[in-house]
Amino acid sequence: MSDVLLSVEDLHVRFTTYAGVVEAVNGMTFEVREGEIFGLVGESGCGKSVTGFSVLRMVPHPGEIVRGSITFAGEDLLGKSKGEMRKVRGGRIAMIFQDPSAALNPVFSIGNQAKRVIREHLHLNEGEAREAALRMFENVGLPDPARVLDMYPHELSGGMKQRVMVAMALSIGAELLIADEPTTALDVTIQAQILALFNRLREELGVAILFITHDLGVVAETCDRVGVAYAGSIVEMGRTEDVLYDMKHPYSEGLLAALPRPTQRGRPLASIPGRVPDGLDLPAGCPFHPRCPHVMPVCSVERPPLLTVGPHGHVAACHLYEEESKV
């Protein structure tokens, strides 16, 4: 897993609105390696989903990528033409959404939609596309794949629809799945099944997954490495066990402290004081400094870079560790 498949470097995405310019992604930097599951975790509005759309060059209007680089398998995605990106999008890179119903056309059968995607990217005839769909439906654990092909989206449960989306992505040979909150709309039992499916597909097919979520429990269960995002950029990143069991950034510590625990029964949950900064008016310096319990004068003036805070590539963007990083 040492080879980098996807590299996002200093990505900036903004939305020009009537109220002003919203800095949705503000210097996002991370890598996804071949065959790994990388978790991108953070609160709503921290730029996770916009980052996913940026990789596919699908940032919705009036958003635009204004700076940075996105490299996939050594190729510059931001430099590709629209035609070249169509071959990458849905072919080599596929995205799975929080609500699979929104990605499936309700007036066409599952088989019609699956075969259309397969024929578009693999140039197979009708019969070959049907066989490819059946094989992948079976591979993702859909019961009675032939029957599912003839069904319509409203006849499937949320978990089955999510499996259909995964199958459609893998049937055309996607090397990278971008999974945007893929388990949020599912109950706990089905959520566990989908997470187990991702792990199995990674092990059997070598598919890399960019797993976008707000749930640290899902990250702990599924991801090899994790990046914690705040106000459009990564504030801490490393192996999942290093980040979750030895958190360094004050924001990461606050997220973990806010998780409910059986030992805290009857006591109020911890919370991070203050509010997430408005993308229209991000604070100077470290974006977390207005809410940070360890704030120093430099924090309101200078934005900290990602600094090494532990072994195995564990980094954090915090002035607390500047002296350590120089040793």
List the strands of the sheet with 20-33, edge to edge: 20-33, 4-17, 63-72, 75-76
Q: pLDDT at residue 263 above 80? A: no
Report the mean per-residue pLDDT for the chain: 89
Q: pLDDT at residue 327 above 50? A: no
130 in helix, strand or coil? Answer: helix
Residue 176 structure tokens: 């990278």
Q: Tens digits of per-residue pLDDT, 295-306? A: 999 999 999 999
How many CA within 13 A on the CB side of residue 103?
Answer: 22
Q: Tens digits of per-residue pLDDT, 205-218? A: 889 999 999 888 88
pLDDT at 182: 85
Q: pTM for this one?
A: 0.90
* b/e 118-145 (16+ beta carbons within 10 angstroms → b): bbebeebeeeebbebbbebbebbbbeeb
- Classify residue 114 by burial, with Cβ atoms within 10 Å: 0-12, 13-18, 19+: buried
The mean pLDDT of 149-167, rounded to a whole number, is 91
Least confidently predicted of 42-46, 220-224, 249-253: 42-46
pLDDT at 200: 87
Hey, what domains does the chain have and what are their CATH numbers?
A: 4-92+174-260+271-277 (3.40.50.300), 105-173 (no CATH)
Percent of the chain with pLDDT over 70: 98
Q: pLDDT at residue 270 above 80? A: no
Nearest residue to 218 via CA among 183, 256, 260: 183
Q: pLDDT at residue 262 above 80? A: no
Question: Omega of the bond prior to 62 within 30 degrees of 0, cis?
Answer: yes
In angstroms, what CA-CA distances link 88 with 19, 56, 67, 207, 310? 35, 8, 21, 15, 36
pLDDT at 9: 96
Q: Tens digits of per-residue pLDDT, 194-208? A: 888 889 888 888 899
Q: pLDDT at residue 325 above 80? A: no
pLDDT at 108: 94
In angstroms, what CA-CA distances link 112 with 144, 253, 299? 17, 47, 55
